[in-house]
A and B are shown apart, each in its own frame.
Chain A
Amino acid sequence: MTTNKTNDFWVLIETNNDGTAKNVGLELLTPGRELADAQGGKLVAVVIGNNIDAAVEAANKHGADQIIAVDGEEYKEYSTDAYSIALTQLVEKYGPRAMMLGATNNGRDLGPRVACRLETGLTADCTSLAIDEENGKVAWTRPAFGGNLMATILCPECYPQIGTVRPGVFKKGEETEPKAEIIKEDIHVEADQIRTQILEILQDMSEEKVDLENAEIIVSGGRGVGGPEGFEPVRELAKVLGATVGASRAAVDSGWISHAHQVGQTGKTVAPKLYIACGISGAIQHQAGMSGSDCIVAINKDPDAPIFDIADYGVVGNLFDVLPILTEEIKKSRA
């Protein structure tokens, strides 16, 4: 599209199967507020799902000026077809200036499909957002080349300007007084328009999910743990800290822990408050997935390991010596 009808900024709020909002959507309302204010537009939360009252309420408490809700059976499970039909239709009707989606598996499935249908530009997996001073467009900044290079992308002539934004980069704001105008849009998608179906849930990790992206603390193990049982002290420390267990590619490829735990370029990108890397050398691909953490602690035998270059606190030592002491001290301090 070559025109916008409004200066509004849209944030897609992804929903869980139970109708609650995924964190990343609520996080995006934080930069969305700033961008919308800077351009004199409304901050609009778009919520698509089934029985989504909880998600609508959450968006309302996190500062949306307007909420567009699309509720229907056909949206209970995410499907590329149903969601792209609904979102495209909404954009064509309302004509926002820009739109942000979480760079989740589903967001990165949906974003390119919708951008392509609207013939507009999409910037993937952004880690910082601003308004370009020269032309007032969104300056979408993202890593490329495995995190070796950052690129700032503009979408100068097409609307809406779309970006997917990495989970965990922005912090969810404090809850405020709800004030949004809520618009319910009824968009029905026929069953035969949805060309994929979920045949089987092979593993349901929603309960015990390895939720690295939303974790506040992550304790990760790498090659240095030496084997599956080597993850024990890592898990012990994670347990006392209430942390999620992560892993480097080396540990996953060796079959010591499942891929769901992997942090890095071919795994998850994380940005916890505290990241403790145990026996991880810190290859650039691993760094690409965790260097956005607020505080990085590295424990490694090798004093020259590259992980020390980005660590706020590094201990040169064997993780099997350091972790039990650290775990014990934390336990004592919390007793």
Chain B
Amino acid sequence: MKMLVCVKQVPDTTEIKIDPVKNTLIRDGVESILNPFDGYALEAAARIKDADPESEITVLTMGPEQAKAVLTESLAIAADKAYMVSGREFGGSDTLCTSYIISEAIKEIEKTEGKFDIIFCGKQAIDGDTAQVGPGIAEHLGYPQVTYALEAFAQEDGFVKVKKEGEDGDLMIGIKTPCVLTFTKPSFDPRYPTIKRKMAAKRVKIPVLALADIPDIDEGKIGLKNSPTRVKKTFVPQKKTGGIKIQEEAVEDSSMKLFQMLSDAHVI
């Protein structure tokens, strides 16, 4: 199986604080991490490789120079090769343009690496939370997709069984390669890198594809100016201010008071 895992560097949203005066996000000093859902996608690919060591895992990211860190991390965890797409012309792309750029980059990389059987993505990135780039890549490549995947099992003859979170419970879906799978959080923890792999990852040369390196790309379909959606404004949501805090001496009294208040407010 030849596998490609798309990863993104994101700010650790658990660390983001709000500037109480300016009412804006404080992004300085917030750690950049591998998007957790992409980590689950990488783990799913690694499990296929566990079962079939002949398999190969390539990771791809698009972003600024410093985003290379997530490729090195992915190499340390499970990947064999890495590619990066970077360039100012790509900046400001919305999900439609981003998925187009990535799909064109994939076609370009396939000229060197050969066709990928499965393209893995996280279901969404924790900064944008759109969940649109994975299906967008699938559409641009004309591939079938399974979203909300939990685990994938490679079968004979280019067939893949995918366990997914359905609306009414988990399902097992059959899909033919080539395909795109987007992953949500499974019940198991992704593996950690070993020291040995960490050392080796640092030595891997990561090719960077700029716009000029992807000659088939249509420049009229990329970047901010060609993105159909525009951010009109952003704002920090109004925090609900805390309501009534009940803290009587005896917990019985607190409990009774809560019951009384909820009854009076007709919420129970």
Contacts and interface: CB of A to CB of B under 8 A. Distances in A.
Interface string B225-268: 00111111111110111111111000110111111011101011
A125 B130 contact: yes
A150 interface: yes
B260 to A, nearest CB: 9
Contacts of B39: none
Interface string A199-210: 111111110010
Contacts of B239: 309-310
Contacts of B251: 317-318, 321-322, 325
Contacts of A112: 95, 99, 130-136, 139
B172 interface: yes
A266 interface: yes
Given A122-B96, A259-B185, A146 B163 contact: no
A312 B243 contact: yes
A313 B246 contact: yes
A80 B146 CA distance: 8
B53 interface: no
Interface in B122-160: 126-136, 138-140, 144-148
Contacts of A283: 14
Contact of A196 (B96, B144, B187, B240): B144
A149 B132 CA distance: 19
B54 interface: no
Contacts of A295: 265, 267
Contacts of B134: 112
Nearest to B165: A105
State the majority secondary structure of interface residues on B.
mixed
Contacts of B11: 145
Taking each of A146, A148, A202, A241, which has the highest tally of chain B beta carbons within 10 Å of its own beta carbon?
A: A148
Given A308-B245, A314-B244, A315-B255, A196 B174 contact: yes
Contacts of B228: 119-121, 155, 157-158
Contact of B169 (A124, A202, A296, A329): A202
Contact of A266 (B138, B185, B235, B268): B185
A93 interface: no
A144 B128 contact: yes
Contacts of A154: 229-230, 232
Q: Contact residue range for chain B?
A: 35 or more
B255 A326 contact: yes
B171 interface: yes
Interface residues of A, number: 88
B183 to A, nearest CB: 12
Nearest to B245: A314
Nearest to B189: A253
Contacts of A200: 171-172
A147 to B, nearest CB: 7
A151 interface: yes
Contact of A153 (B140, B184, B231, B259): B231
A130 to B, nearest CB: 11
Contact of A105 (B148, B229, B234): B148
Interface in A47-85: 78, 80-81
Given A121-B229, A144-B128, A315-B254, A205 B168 contact: yes
A150 B174 contact: no
B170 interface: yes
B159 to A, nearest CB: 10
B18 interface: yes
B70 to A, nearest CB: 18
Contacts of B241: 309
Interface in A93-147: 104-106, 108-109, 111-113, 115-117, 119-125, 132, 139, 142-147
A196 B234 contact: no
Given A148-B18, A283-B14, A310-B242, A116 B139 contact: yes
Interface string A279-322: 00001110000010011110100010000111111111110011
A113 B145 contact: yes
B145 A206 contact: no
Interface in B1-18: 11, 13-14, 16, 18
29 contacts: A108-B131, A112-B139, A113-B139, A120-B96, A124-B95, A124-B129, A124-B130, A143-B237, A146-B14, A150-B234, A150-B236, A155-B229, A195-B144, A197-B174, A198-B171, A198-B174, A200-B172, A201-B169, A201-B171, A203-B169, A295-B267, A311-B245, A312-B244, A313-B262, A315-B258, A316-B247, A317-B247, A317-B251, A329-B259
Interface of A: 78, 80-81, 104-106, 108-109, 111-113, 115-117, 119-125, 132, 139, 142-158, 195-206, 209, 241, 259-260, 265-266, 273-274, 283-285, 291, 294-297, 299, 303, 308-318, 321-322, 325-326, 329-330, 333
